Amino acid sequence: MKIAITGTNGFLGQHLTRLLLKEGHQIVAIAKGNDRTFCSDSIHYKYHEVDITNRVELQAVVEKERPDVFVHSAAITQPDECELNKETCENVNVQGTMHSIFVAEQYCRHFIFVSTDFVFDGEKGNYSEEDSIKPISFYGQSKSSGERLVGESKMPWAIIRTCLVYGNSLTGTRNNIISWVKQSLEQNKPIKVVSDQVRTPTYVEDLANGILLVIEKKANGIYHISGKDVLTPFEMAIRTAEYFGLNRQLIEKVDASVFVQPAKRPPKTGFDISKARGELGYEPVGFEEGLRRLVEIVSREL
């Protein structure tokens, strides 16, 4: 199957590209800047440098390649960046999604949109796909707008919401909570980590596998794809320190009021993943197993 993926230079994009190539699919990679996936030696991989805010550029690539499936993972995902640069966030997260849907409707058979737990206000927690969305940040608003556009599409579609993704940081990608905690403690730097926010942290390869399941089962609708353990960032940091044998005394337990951040964070999200388990056969690893696999992959690549 030929699959177009936007945002292939990003954290999820790189992991998803590698998994889909391993599974024998052809990949049409779409991203800004130079290719950072290191997959160019595969005959089933073709990279296109495209800005998704430019519909003409995007359409030219999709018209030429005619992929079966279009996975839209490109986005500005940093809440504070979105809050401080609302016009840029709107252009990428909303207009870029609109352009992706427009071209996919003409040439593809299935559209998959990657969304976030930040579409919820965080008052309830353990959200199911049927719960009403109510974003409290501009980032959350931009992704809920993207979801609305996808829902109005004339083609088969799936929305995959995920939550606090962690895993191996690949070339050119930002730190995630695990890599930040590990690097800080290895350098004996004290860190402050919030204990009043609740999430179901998601191992990045589980997320990639959830997307693969949606593709292969041609699933439609909304799916919550996350980890199964309910943890605070502080608990994640402590478990990370213990797993790697680092000094947990360097981790200070704080609440969110300590940080002055432009964007509000939903206090309590986390997902009910029973729909994904039942309909897709999705089964994520536990948090400690995610850490073990992270180390295993790093050791294998050294």
pLDDT reading at 32 higher than 80: yes
CB 31 within 8 A of CB 50: yes
For range 155-175, the mean pLDDT: 86
pLDDT reading at 302 higher than 60: no
DSSP string of 219-267, one letter each residue? --EEEE---S--B-HHHHHHHHHHHHT--GGGEEEE-GGGS--SS---S
Strand partners, 30: 6, 48
For range 187-192, the mean pLDDT: 97
Query: Domains in the chain, start-ordered, CATH in brackets?
Result: 2-166+201-228+271-287 (3.40.50.720)
For range 11-19, the mean pLDDT: 95
For residue range 250-261, list pLDDT tens digits in order.
Answer: 999 999 999 999
pLDDT band at 295 (very low <50, low <70, confident <90, very high): confident
DSSP E strands: which ranges in the chain? 2-6, 26-31, 45-49, 69-72, 110-116, 157-162, 165-166, 191-194, 202-203, 221-224, 251-254
pLDDT, mean over the chain: 95
In the block, which residue shows the tokens 């962690």?
Answer: 166
Q: How many residues does the chain have?
A: 302
For residue range 139-164, list pLDDT tens digits in order.
Answer: 999 999 999 999 999 999 999 999 99
For residue range 225-266, list pLDDT tens digits in order.
Answer: 999 999 999 999 999 999 999 999 999 999 999 999 999 999
For residue range 39-95, list pLDDT tens digits in order.
Answer: 989 999 999 999 999 999 999 999 999 999 999 999 999 999 999 999 999 999 999
Strand partners, 202: 165
* Percent of the chain whose pLDDT exceeds 70: 96
User: Who's near 93: CB < 8 A, 6+ residues apart?
Assistant: 75, 76, 82, 139, 142, 143, 145, 146
SS3 62: helix
pLDDT reading at 171 higher than 80: no
